[in-house]
Structure 1
Amino acid sequence: MYVLGLDIGGTSSRALLVDASGRRIGYGKAAGGNPAAHGTETAAANIRQALEPALRGVDPAEVAGAVIGMAGIGALDRPVFDRMWASAGLRCAPVVTGDLGIAFAAGTAEPRGTVLIAGTGAIAARIEGGQPTVISDGLGWLLGDQGSGFWLGREAARAAVHSLGRGESDGLLTRLVAGHVRDSRAGDVPDAGGGAAGAPTGAEQGSGAGWPPVDGRAEAIRIVVHLQGRSPLELARLAPLVSRAAAEGDPDALKIVSMAAGLLCATVAEVRAEGESTPIVLAGSVLTSQGPVYAAVRDGLGAPTVLAGDAAGAAAWLAAREAFGLDDEEARRLHRRILREE
């Protein structure tokens, strides 16, 4: 008998099949399956595409259980999803849940604790019995997501345009942001031969060509106009530049890192009792990359933390725990196997 774990996000869908011993049997990956972002029809098709290689060579009727961690679950048209599920030959009824409990399980087999996710967005939750009971933030890029990748990118852009507006162009973070935007703008305007026309690339401006700008304020306005005409995700793409500049001691980047860590720790404090000793699981690209924000958050929390591992593996573990009726000790052993801790 087997179980399936699926990790469904906006950019990718991943499916993992394991047997009762925790051995990984099949794995598949496809495009994003978030129904809020793609619509249920497209999302279901992408999930189906991830299921195919995961189930290859296996009788789907032998899958005893499945847990699906899905972003955008509120937009799911369940009849459409159920038809896709049945078309894959699966007979078990999947448990479809949000990503907080899955992220927590990706870091620990304990039933209680705290999870902090900081990726493009940011959210924290208190976990009881494997389920979120109190949630903080996760309120979106416009009104929340404090300390997230979007927030980091916005602060990087803010620092850059303010520096340029004052005629200051020598800061590393400012140069990196301006280079990123110049590259993006150049890619938007193809020349007659099909190449990119316009501004020099980030590498060129970093070596001196076209930098510093003759008019810093004009450069700042170009950055503002470019970013305001793009999706908020464009700002999130600036987040790694903060880590890079902070690692080299850029004062603007170090200030942003400190602020982000403070905001993320405050989000955790809203869901966690002071002095609590249960595990804190850190998830999401801002934290699992183990850059300066991760280090500052870890130090700021003042409590033991663990990094989340494979979310599809965590979902498979949750499915196995239920389908195979495991006791606590058996569940912990299986968690270590599936999450490759042993």
Structure 2
Amino acid sequence: MVLGQHPPRGKMAHQGTGWRRPLEVGDDVAVNPVVVGVDIGGSKTHGVRVDADGSVLAEKIVGSANVESVTHAQADAALDELFDALGRDGIDVVCAGSAGINTPAQEEWLAGMISRRAPGAKVVIAHDTRLILATPEFDTGIAVICGTGSVAWGRNEAGDTARAGGWGYLLGDEGSGYWVTREAVRHALRQADRGLPADPLSDAIARASGVQTAYEVLGEFYAEPVRRSWAQKSSVVFDLARHGDEAAQRIVADTAEAITVQIASVATQLGLTGPVALGGGLIVNQSTLQDAVRAGLAERGITGVEPLTREPVFGAVYLARQSLS
């Protein structure tokens, strides 16, 4: 990754949960701190500004600021829009959880982007899966995000952490919304290559793409590189699967297996049998996928599988407050 901005001023520290500038002598921390939580996903960026009592002072959802999904210019614009709405001054801590944050250099780059927009604030950076396991009640276990991309992350009581997936769409993201749509497009192309008539799945993915044939879908797929727009089309696969389409049902089954394998890998590394929090737009909104993943994990002895009941951005708020202690 090309570093578009210099990291923020001050000594830097890389810790297990992310990058942060530690508090230093002379730092002014309010008695009643105001914190900002930011959740940067592949499709959107969600931010909240919260006071010491937990009251939400401002909230805003903008486009993705994840540079694995958008350009640096688009990420800049999204963060500007976000902090214009939340306010840039009077912030004590900002915690941003982002997909695609895998190295200290990436963490420092994002910290610099945040610091420019919240001058004087302490900045904490974490992978977005960390936000799911950031509550007083649910601080250990396994979190999976299955939205535009896919990744699983976990922590056990000893404080050990592990992850699986999150490689990005070029190398992985199996079980993600983008992957589901890509599998549907591949199915349509195989049908066409064999000289077979378009089946219901081929027709549905063509209509969702605004064209009529599989080869036209192929052209659209390369002409429109924005992953989130293709991930959103995954709903047509689940709709057909619910109505008994065998091709769509195979893709849904493969999706559930891919997510199950990621979760099981983390569970094995950490010696966990649950609980598991399901996050991300695809799996939260597709009950059929939840049921299939839950069944696959039960076969592996992993239980306590439930969809996330609060927005991940409030996990960022929790981590921001923790950083002050």
Q: TM-score range by the shorter chain?
A: 0.7 to 0.9
1:255 and 2:288 aligned: no
What is the CA distance between 1:296 and its match in structure 2?
1.1
What is the CA distance between 1:95 and its match in structure 2?
0.7
Note the alpha carbon deviations across 1:23-74, whole angstroms, 9 max, x for none: 2222123333224555656534532432233349xxx43x443311123441
How do 1:1-342 residues align onto structure 2 when only pairs under 5 Å count?
Answer: 1=32, 2-38=34-70, 43-55=75-87, 60-61=89-90, 63-73=91-101, 74=106, 76=109, 78-79=111-112, 81-86=114-119, 91-105=120-134, 109-128=137-156, 133-164=161-192, 165-169=194-198, 171-181=199-209, 183=210, 185=211, 219-231=213-225, 233=227, 235-273=230-268, 276-302=272-298, 303-308=303-308, 309-323=310-324, 325=325
Does the 8 A contact of 2:241 with 2:252 survive in 1?
Answer: yes
Q: 1:67 to 1:131 in 2, by over 3 A?
A: farther
**Structure 1 regions of 5+ residues with no counterpart?**
186-198, 200-218, 326-342
What is the CA distance between 1:18 and its match in structure 2?
1.9
Number of equivalent positions: 280
Q: What is the CA–CA distance in structure 2 between the aligned matches of 1:160 and 1:23, rounded to whole Å? A: 49
Note the alpha carbon deviations across 1:173-198, whole angstroms, 9 max, x for none: 222112223x1x4xxxxxxxxxxxxx
Q: Aligned to 1:95, what secondary structure does the other structure show?
A: strand
Question: If each structure's helix is expressed as a fraction of its own residues, which one has the higher value?
Answer: 1
Q: 1:177 to 1:150 in 2, by over 3 A?
A: same
Partner residue in 1 for 2:12: none
Partner residue in 2 for 1:195: none
Q: What is the CA–CA distance in structure 1 between the aligned matches of 2:71 and 2:216, rounded to whole Å? A: 34
Q: 1:229 to 1:23 in 2, by over 3 A?
A: closer
Larger Rg: 1
Q: What is the CA–CA distance in structure 2 between the aligned matches of 1:67 and 1:80, rounded to whole Å? A: 12
Note the alpha carbon deviations across 1:107-142, whole angstroms, 9 max, x for none: x73221111111122111222479882111112223
Q: What is the CA–CA distance in structure 1 between the aligned matches of 2:306 and 2:158, rounded to whole Å? A: 16
Q: What is the CA–CA distance in structure 1 between the aligned matches of 2:196 and 2:131, rounded to whole Å? A: 47
Q: Aligned to 1:26, what secondary structure does the other structure show?
A: strand
Q: What is the CA–CA distance in structure 1 between the aligned matches of 2:185 and 2:112, rounded to whole Å? A: 43
Q: What is the CA–CA distance in structure 1 between the aligned matches of 2:76 and 2:220, rounded to whole Å? A: 34
Q: What is the CA–CA distance in structure 1 between the aligned matches of 2:63 and 2:230, rounded to whole Å? A: 22
TM-score, with structure 1 as normaliser = 0.71
Q: Aligned to 1:315, what secondary structure does the other structure show?
A: helix
Note the alpha carbon deviations across 1:188-239, whole angstroms, 9 max, x for none: xxxxxxxxxxx6xxxxxxxxxxxxxxxxxxx443333443444272543431
Q: Tell me whether 36-45 or 309-318 shows the greater mean CA deviation.
A: 36-45
Does the 8 A contact of 2:148 with 2:231 survive in 1?
Answer: yes
RMSD after superposition: 3.0
Q: What is the CA–CA distance in structure 2 between the aligned matches of 1:34 and 1:268, rounded to whole Å? A: 23
Q: 1:130 to 1:235 in 2, by over 3 A?
A: farther
Percent identity of equivalent pairs: 25
Q: What code does the residue aligned with 1:104 have?
A: L
TM-score, with structure 2 as normaliser = 0.75
Q: Aligned to 2:153, what secondary structure does the other structure show?
A: strand
Q: What is the CA–CA distance in structure 1 between the aligned matches of 2:72 and 2:111, rounded to whole Å? A: 8
